[in-house]
């Protein structure tokens, strides 16, 4: 069944560059059909911040209920919102925006999506756990905030630029009453820190390309750990493959994508009531990813 368009159809979408590989349009439009809401989700490729400014101005006067934000604009989006939820302020990034009477309200649903997917897919509870987060950008911020809210025992942020990790930690520490938040430089001396972790999260961009190496050496991973790569691809990322090879439990970012998208949908469609159909969204995302992989194989042959 195709997307239904009427004279009253409202809009949602995803802003980023590039966005042609995004699974969000397929995932959201499948959910809207299942929920029988008059809404359509479109990709919004935005090449630079000058274009971002113009797109945001247009969105304010068009019938948008909201939109998602992906790389490279999650941090920049903070400055375009009229109001930013506390969790997004702590994370230092906005990935979901609710449009209300021309005003833009920013949220961050990524971290909650990550924690929810770990619980639903693996039965893993972050409470009291030791966690390593690799990276210090917007994705790392969203993960850190949700780990603190989930009462993780200890979180260590590893980053090649220690100052960025410390800035992130300083922003979140005042709210981390039950979580020790530490930082360290990502170099050859932190192998022991990674080995001690119950959960290792990749919040960097390493893994988006097939040739990317894992963000930490596979020798630092071991059986009994949970490894979560916030990146998803049709084929396992180098980190997921390395983790499984040593007997660790590993998941990619597809479950997180579904969970954060469902939360965004529920923010936009609160008046419609009910929960987003996560099973429908997961199936649509998996089918879209498989279709992309099939096209890529066909192009390479």
Q: What is residue 216's three-state secondary structure? A: coil
Q: What is residue 88's three-state secondary structure? A: helix
Q: What is residue 28's three-state secondary structure? A: helix
Do 213 and 206 contact (CB within 8 A), yes or no? yes
Q: Which residues are within 8 A (CB) of 295 and not within 5 positions of it... i.e. 6 or more apart? A: none
Report the C-alpha gap between 170 and 163 in whole angstroms: 10
Catalytic (active site) residue 74: yes
Do 207 and 215 contact (CB within 8 A), yes or no? yes
Annotated catalytic residue within 27, 65, 74, 136: 74
Report the C-alpha gap between 187 and 204 in whole angstroms: 15
Dihedral, CA of residue 230, residue 232, residue 236 and residue 239, to nearest 10: -20
Report the C-alpha gap between 160 and 55 in whole angstroms: 34
> Which residues does the annotation mark as catalytic?
74
């Amino acid at each position: 069944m195709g997307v239904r368009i009427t004279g009253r159809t409202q809009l949602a979408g995803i802003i980023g560059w590039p966005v042609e590989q995004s699974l969000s349009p397929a995932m959201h439009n499948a959910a809207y059909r299942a929920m029988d809401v008059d809404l359509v989700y479109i990709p919004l490729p935005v090449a630079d911040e000058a274009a971002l400014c113009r797109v945001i101005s247009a969105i304010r006067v068009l019938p948008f209920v909201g939109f998602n934000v992906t790389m490279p604009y999650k941090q920049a989006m903070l400055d375009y919102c009229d109001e930013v939820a506390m969790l997004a302020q702590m994370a230092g990034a906005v990935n979901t925006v609710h449009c209300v009477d021309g005003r833009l309200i920013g949220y961050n649903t990524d971290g909650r999506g990550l924690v929810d997917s770990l619980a639903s897919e693996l039965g893993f509870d972050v409470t009291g756990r030791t966690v390593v987060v690799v990276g210090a950008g917007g994705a790392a911020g969203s993960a850190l905030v949700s780990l603190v809210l989930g009462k993780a025992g200890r979180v260590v942020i590893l980053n090649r630029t220690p100052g960025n990790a410390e800035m992130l930690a300083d922003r979140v520490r005042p709210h981390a009453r039950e979580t020790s938040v530490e930082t360290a430089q990502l170099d050859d001396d932190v192998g022991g820190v990674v080995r001690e972790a119950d959960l290792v999260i990749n919040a960097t961009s390493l893994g988006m390309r097939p040739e990317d190496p894992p963000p930490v050496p596979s020798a630092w991973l071991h059986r009994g750990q949970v490894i979560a790569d916030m990146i998803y691809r049709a084929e396992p990322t180098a980190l997921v493959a390395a983790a499984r090879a040593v007997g660790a439990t590993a998941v990619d970012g597809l479950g997180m994508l579904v969970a954060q998208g469902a939360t965004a949908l529920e923010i936009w469609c609160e008046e419609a009531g009910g929960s987003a159909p996560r099973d429908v969204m997961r199936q649509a995302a998996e089918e879209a990813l498989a279709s992309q992989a099939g096209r890529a194989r066909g192009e390479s042959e």
